[in-house]
């Protein structure tokens, strides 16, 4: 068996492993990977997301188990320090020696820190690893404690520098960008577009300092400022250096592999170094005299190295490597592709600029005006994907090329259709997925919707920049196959849930038949549209499920969850999980009286199982007499707000999580929504209430609550995203009212907040704009609607047991008081259970 050692477990090192596993058909090779970082490879491109959720797991390229399952030995926390080419061995920082047949150097690069005096001071950071970010977060938090107006600068106004600037803004420090060149993003933008970008960034609060050479970093122990000229000083409390990258080619020097003058291990187009058994890939490789600081070319390099080793000796890197980029900075669109700066001898440039809208678009076309050579987009990069494709595939452009960038009244008509792209057009450059592969996955039946396409082709899972185009192609292909891509709720309505919400609200309909007769397609409704309309009526008019019970899902109709054998479970509300001993005893006694199976639920309350239909109202009468009310365990409505004990008892508690949890549960109880809603309130960051696994979660921190939204357990667990920090109780309620109401208005049937939020155009940032900044001007309406629902709350079980007419519903037979004779219980441990299904 041949041994392959991969040095570096970063994005490209990982991709090498992944491609190797995919492409090798036998087990003739053994892969061992060394990574110097403490964890398996993670997605550096989306590193900034760590600021939002501090969830390192979410960034993982693959969990540690993946390596085990694929027979790869992954060694983290151990650096390779020496290569001995003559004996084909390497030595590690733990002084261990390993032999190889092939060696893959995927050591990436490190941030370049210019040798400025004082740069070693405390508070100076680089921006490359999770540990870097952790350091920054801790430092910023400390700073803010003593100085709420603390400032931070970023050295470098390039792509990464601006991303770091956004991070500074998000950390709540006053952001400054210091750039040596006279313009921002000097490598990607021309002067005019750079100016437009600058204006836009200044408008969102970034302070930009151009043409500044930093002479020294001021401060005794920690940084207090940067000095440019004698009287030119910028006072800052923190600095992030983002002045370019340096390939980590130190290993090449230990064994005399050729390196470039400015660093980087020299490779040929097979990705071999000057030793044919040693490959270099990713940001450490110097190919065509260039370091390609992007993942997509790195992934291609990994692919070529894999192919070479597996014997496909004709595999080579293409001559031209695409360096088009789109900035991920939220709130500012910037993209450049192909040749952004065009010398007049090679082509013509067409420029559209509107400073009032911070808009700049430039395209460069060939002298014969037939092809697109490159361009720059600032302020609105919606057309980037299509322009990029036209450039990559040398597609024909309109006779009037200006149409490609001029604002049109009817959208992007000048582009033609995504389906005009050639089949081999590479739509996702990160994962090398072509349009043909996307269409193929759908045509073969393997993929039925966008989610399927993404999971079976991996398109859009890298930088994510191609997602809009993947979506368009998917929808167009489905359509061409005659598969309708509409989200109407069922055969009886041509509307989706959101449309119906508006219709019912505006028309004030009170019954299902009114809605169906006025807006349906004929027919009589079904198991899909009836519960949707029932839920909408409840959300709009605060109706309980008692009002029109025949259109309710079975559980809502009988205000209990139907069980395997047609009996029901009973779950009274226990707000926040707090319960008195007397109430506990009452639960026990009632369970005994009706011979019910009892269990503590996963939602930390008590469930009584095995009640027959006839028993339900009797049990509830008893429960209500002891002060209980419906727990809505059967409804698409608020379930529980799980709490930890918080500062009431816990030595670490920062706030009263139980009190607040109870308040929230009582506020939102009974409210019907597209799907169930769960909340959690934790008293400190130890998070004993698992608040971030809930639709809304609160964690007490210094100075208030951190509010998280859109979490989910279930089949697709997701952590909730950080929505607002250090806010007080009142603000939490304000934001939650708006958030939940917006969700109730716009989500699809049976779509939990997590899925809704994930598919929401603009994501969490958009939500913040609508909910915190009120950009749609609907915040007040949302709050009022929620308050109406809160005021109108009524326990539907109390309603039911006090109304003889409603009580009739709970007889198993209309013509007899007897119970269902088909139910058989068998003993289980000290209780009972339904007879198993055959």
Among 756, 627, 767, which Cα is nearest to 695's? 756
Q: What is the 3-class SS of 173-235, one letter each residue?
A: CEEEEECCCCCCCCCCCCHHHHHHHHHHHHHCCCEEECCCCCCEEECCCECCEEEEECCEEEE
Q: Is 467 in the site for ligand FAD (CB under 6 A)?
A: no
Q: How far is the CB of 672 from another protein (least distance, A)?
A: 17
Among 138, 139, 135, 116, which Cα is nearest to 126's? 135
Q: 313: Cβ–Cβ under 8 A, 6 or more apart, which residues? A: 270
**Closer residue to ligand FES, CB minimum distance, 301 or 538:** 301
Instruction: Spell out, one character per residue from 476 to 505, where the chain touches ligand FAD: x when CB under 6 A holds, - when not.
Output: ------------------------------
Backbone phi and psi for residue 467, each to the nearest 5 degrees, phi listed first: -55, -45
Among 714, 765, 776, 802, binds ligand SRM (CB under 6 A): 714
Q: Would you tell me which residues interact with ligand FES (CB under 6 A)?
A: 428-430, 459-460, 462-466
Bridge partners, 266 (sequence order): 286
566 binds, among ligand FES, ligand SRM, another protein, none (CB under 5 to 8 A by kind): another protein
Q: How far is the CB of 295 from ligand FES (least distance, A)?
A: 8
464 binds, among another protein, ligand SRM, ligand FES, none (CB under 5 to 8 A by kind): ligand FES
Spell out the alpha helix ranges (H) of 747-828: 753-759, 763-771, 779-791, 796-801, 804-807
466 binds, among another protein, ligand SRM, ligand FES, none (CB under 5 to 8 A by kind): ligand FES
Instruction: Spell out, one character per residue from 30 to 69, where the chain touches ligand SRM: x when CB under 6 A holds, - when not.
Output: ----------------------------------------
Name the CA dihedral angle for 474, 477, 479, 481, rounded to a multiple of 10 degrees.
-140
Q: 183: Cβ–Cβ under 8 A, 6 or more apart, which residues? A: 157, 189, 191, 194, 195, 198, 210
Backbone phi and psi for residue 148, each to the nearest 5 degrees, phi listed first: -65, -20
Q: How far is the CB of 211 from ligand FAD (least distance, A)?
A: 25
Among 156, 263, 293, 697, binds ligand FAD (CB under 6 A): 293
Burial pattern 640-663, b for ≥16 Cβ within 10 A else e, equals bbbbbbbbeebeebbbbbbbbbbb
Beta strand ranges found along 478-622 (DSSP E): 561-562, 568-570, 597-600, 606-611
**Closer residue to another protein, CB minimum distance, 470 or 551:** 551
* CA separation for the pair 697, 630 (Å, rounded): 23
Q: Tokens 């210091």 identify what position?
A: 178
Which residues from 65-124 bind ligand FAD, rule CB under 6 A? 79-80, 106-108
Among 31, 47, 291, 377, binds ligand FAD (CB under 6 A): 47
Q: Do residues 190 and 211 touch, judged by C-beta distance below 8 A?
A: no
What is the full DSSP assignment across 570-607?
E-B--GGG---HHHHHHHHHHHHHTT-EEEE-TTSSEE
Q: How far is the CB of 518 from another protein (least distance, A)?
A: 14
Q: Is 163 in the site for ligand FAD (CB under 6 A)?
A: yes
Torsion over CA: 752, 755, 758, 763 (sign) = negative
Among 18, 31, 34, 428, binds ligand FAD (CB under 6 A): 34
Q: Tokens 């279930």 identify what position?
A: 714
Which residues from 396-455 bind ligand FAD, rule CB under 6 A? none
* CA separation for the pair 645, 654 (Å, rounded): 11
519 binds, among ligand FAD, another protein, ligand FES, none (CB under 5 to 8 A by kind): none
Q: Do residues 782 and 734 touch, judged by C-beta distance below 8 A?
A: no
Stretch that binds ligand FAD, among 287-295, 335-343, 604-612, 720-728 (CB under 6 A): 287-295
Q: How far is the CB of 296 from ligand FES (least distance, A)?
A: 7
Q: How many CA atoms lie within 13 A of 662 on its CB side?
A: 10
Largest CA distance in the chain: 98
Q: Is 274 in the site for ligand SRM (CB under 6 A)?
A: no
**Closer residue to ligand FES, CB minimum distance, 442 or 638:** 442
Q: How far is the CB of 468 from another protein (least distance, A)?
A: 35
Stretch that binds ligand SRM, among 67-75, 322-330, 707-715, 793-801 (CB under 6 A): 707-715
- The reply to whether 684 sits in an annotated binding site is yes
- Taking CB positions, which residue lies at the least distance from ligand FES? 428
Q: DSSP state, 803?
A: -
303 binds, among ligand FAD, another protein, ligand SRM, none (CB under 5 to 8 A by kind): none
Name the CA dihedral angle for 810, 812, 815, 821, rounded to a multiple of 10 degrees.
-150
**Closer residue to another protein, CB minimum distance, 524 or 592:** 524
838 binds, among ligand SRM, ligand FAD, another protein, none (CB under 5 to 8 A by kind): another protein
Q: How far is the CB of 93 from ligand SRM (least distance, A)?
A: 43
- The reply to whether 428 sits in an annotated binding site is no
Bridge partners, 350 (sequence order): 363
* CA separation for the pair 326, 68 (Å, rounded): 35
Q: Is 17 in the site for ligand FAD (CB under 6 A)?
A: no
Q: How far is the CB of 513 from another protein (least distance, A)?
A: 7
**Closer residue to ligand FAD, CB minimum distance, 9 or 657:** 9
Which residues from 569-628 bind ligand SRM, rule CB under 6 A? 569, 571, 599, 601-603, 605, 607
Q: What is the 3-class SS of 267-304, one letter each residue?
A: CCCCCECCCCCEEECHHHEEECCECCCCHHHHHHHHHH
3-class secondary-structure state, position 695: coil
Q: DSSP state, 34?
A: E
Copy the structure tokens of residue 136: 């920054």
Q: For residue 478, how many other CB atoms are within 10 A of its CB? A: 20
Q: How far is the CB of 273 from ligand FES (least distance, A)?
A: 27
- The reply to whether 255 sits in an annotated binding site is no
Q: Is 678 in the site for ligand SRM (CB under 6 A)?
A: yes
Q: Would you tell me which residues interact with another protein (CB under 8 A)?
A: 491-492, 512-513, 523-527, 529-531, 549-555, 557-558, 562, 564-566, 808-809, 812-816, 818, 820-823, 837-838
Q: Is 721 in the site for ligand SRM (CB under 6 A)?
A: no
Q: H or E stretch including 382?
A: none
Which residues from 532-561 bind ligand SRM, rule CB under 6 A? 561
* CA separation for the pair 818, 34 (Å, rounded): 72
Q: Is 127 in the site for ligand FAD (CB under 6 A)?
A: yes
Q: Is 40 in the site for ligand FAD (CB under 6 A)?
A: no
**Closer residue to ligand FES, CB minimum distance, 242 or 324:** 324
Region of residue 423 (left: phi > 0; alpha: psi -120 to 50; beta: else): alpha
3-class secondary-structure state, position 467: helix
525 binds, among ligand SRM, another protein, ligand FES, none (CB under 5 to 8 A by kind): another protein
636 binds, among ligand FES, ligand FAD, ligand SRM, none (CB under 5 to 8 A by kind): none
Q: Is 160 in the site for ligand FAD (CB under 6 A)?
A: yes
Q: Is 713 in the site for ligand SRM (CB under 6 A)?
A: yes
Instruction: Spell out, one character per residue from 328 to 357, where the chain touches ligand FAD: x when CB under 6 A holds, - when not.
Output: x-----------------------------
Positions that interact with ligand SRM (CB under 6 A): 561, 563, 569, 571, 599, 601-603, 605, 607, 633, 639-640, 678, 712-715, 752
Please state the residue numbers annotated as binding site for [4Fe-4S] cluster.
Answer: 644, 650, 684, 688
Please state the residue numbers annotated as binding site for siroheme.
Answer: 688
Positions that interact with ligand FAD (CB under 6 A): 7-13, 34-37, 44-45, 47-48, 79-80, 106-108, 127-128, 160, 163, 248, 251, 282-283, 293-296, 298, 328, 463
Please state the residue numbers annotated as binding site.
Answer: 644, 650, 684, 688
């Amino acid at each position: 068996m041949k041994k392959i050692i991969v040095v570096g477990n970063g994005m490209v090192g990982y991709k090498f492993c992944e491609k190797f596993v995919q492409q090798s058909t036998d087990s003739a090779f053994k892969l061992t990977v060394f990574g110097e970082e403490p964890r398996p490879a993670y997605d550096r491109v989306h590193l900034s997301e760590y600021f939002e959720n501090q969830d390192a797991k979410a960034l993982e390229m693959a969990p540690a188990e993946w390596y085990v399952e694929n027979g790869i030995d992954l060694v983290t926390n151990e650096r390779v320090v020496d290569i001995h080419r003559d004996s084909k061995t390497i030595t590690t920082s733990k002084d261990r020696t390993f032999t190889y047949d092939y060696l893959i150097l995927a050591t990436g690069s490190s941030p370049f820190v210019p040798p400025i005096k004082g740069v070693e001071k405390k508070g100076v950071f680089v921006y490359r690893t999770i540990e870097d970010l952790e350091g920054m977060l801790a430092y910023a938090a400390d700073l803010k404690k003593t100085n709420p107006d603390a400032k931070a600068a970023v050295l470098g106004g390039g792509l990464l520098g601006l991303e770091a600037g956004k991070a500074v803004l998000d950390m709540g420090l006053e952001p400054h960008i210091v750039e040596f060149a006279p313009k921002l993003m000097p490598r990607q933008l021309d002067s005019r577009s750079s100016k437009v970008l600058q204006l836009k960034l200044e408008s969102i609060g970034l302070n930009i300092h151009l043409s500044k050479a930093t002479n020294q970093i001021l401060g005794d122990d920690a940084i207090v400022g940067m000095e440019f000229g004698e009287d030119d000083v910028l006072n800052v409390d923190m600095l992030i250096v983002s002045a370019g990258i340096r390939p980590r080619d130190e290993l090449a020097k230990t064994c005399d592999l050729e390196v470039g003058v400015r660093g980087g291990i020299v490779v040929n187009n097979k990705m071999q170094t000057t030793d044919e058994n040693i490959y270099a890939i990713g940001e450490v490789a110097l190919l065509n005299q260039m370091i390609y600081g992007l993942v997509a070319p790195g992934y291609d390099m990994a692919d070529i190295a894999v192919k070479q080793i597996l014997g496909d000796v004709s595999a080579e890197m293409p001559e031209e490597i695409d360096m088009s980029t789109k900035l991920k900075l939220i709130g500012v669109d910037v993209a450049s592709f192909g040749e952004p700066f065009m010398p007049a001898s090679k082509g013509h440039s067409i420029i559209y600029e509107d400073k009032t809208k911070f808009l700049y678009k430039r395209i460069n076309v060939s002298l014969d005006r037939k092809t697109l050579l490159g361009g720059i987009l600032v302020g609105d990069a919606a057309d980037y994907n299509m322009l990029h494709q036209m450039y990559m595939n040398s597609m024909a452009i309109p006779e009037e090329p200006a149409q490609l960038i001029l604002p049109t009244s009817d959208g992007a008509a000048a582009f033609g259709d995504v389906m005009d792209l050639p089949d081999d057009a590479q739509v996702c450059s990160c994962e090398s997925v072509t349009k043909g592969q996307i269409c193929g996955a759908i045509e073969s039946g393997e993929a039925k919707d966008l989610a399927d396409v993404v999971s079976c082709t991996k398109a859009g899972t890298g930088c994510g920049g191609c997602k809009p185009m993947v979506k368009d192609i998917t929808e167009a292909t489905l359509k061409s196959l005659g598969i309708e891509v509409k989200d109407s709720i069922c055969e009886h309505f041509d509307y989706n849930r959101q449309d119906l919400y508006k219709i019912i609200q505006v028309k004030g309909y009170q019954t299902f038949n009114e809605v169906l007769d006025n807006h349906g397609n004929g027919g009589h409704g079904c198991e899909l549209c009836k519960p949707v309309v029932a839920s909408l009526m409840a959300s709009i008019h605060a109706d309980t499920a008692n009002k029109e019970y025949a259109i309710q899902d079975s559980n809502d109709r009988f205000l209990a969850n139907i069980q395997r054998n047609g009996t029901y479970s009973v779950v009274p509300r226990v707000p926040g999980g707090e319960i008195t001993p007397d109430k506990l005893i009452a639960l026990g006694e009632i369970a005994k009286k009706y011979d019910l199976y009892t269990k503590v639920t996963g939602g930390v309350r008590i469930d009584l199982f095995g009640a027959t239909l006839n028993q339900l109202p009797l049990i509830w009468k008893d429960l209500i007499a002891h002060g209980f009310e419906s727990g809505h365990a059967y409804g698409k409505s608020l379930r529980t707000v799980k709490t930890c004990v918080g500062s009431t008892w816990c030595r670490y508690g920062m706030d009263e999580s139980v009190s607040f949890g109870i308040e929230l549960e009582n506020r939102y109880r009974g409210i019907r929504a597209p799907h169930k809603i769960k909340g959690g309130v934790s008293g400190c960051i130890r998070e004993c209430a698992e608040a971030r696994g809930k639709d809304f979660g609160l964690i007490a921190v210094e100075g208030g609550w951190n509010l998280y939204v859109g979490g989910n357990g279930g089949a697709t667990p997701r952590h909730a995203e950080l929505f607002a920090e250090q806010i007080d109780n009142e603000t939490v309620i304000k934001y939650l009212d708006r958030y939940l109401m917006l969700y109730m208005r716009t989500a699809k049937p049976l779509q939990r907040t997590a899925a809704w939020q994930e598919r929401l155009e603009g994501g969490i940032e958009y939500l913040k704009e609508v909910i915190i900044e009120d950009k749609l001007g609907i915040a007040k309406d949302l709050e009022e609607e929620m308050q109406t629902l809160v005021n109108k709350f009524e326990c539907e079980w109390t309603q039911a047991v006090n109304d003889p007419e409603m009580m009739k519903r709970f007889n198993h037979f209309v013509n007899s008081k007897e119970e269902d004779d088909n139910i058989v219980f068998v003993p289980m441990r000290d209780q009972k259970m339904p007879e198993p299904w055959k």
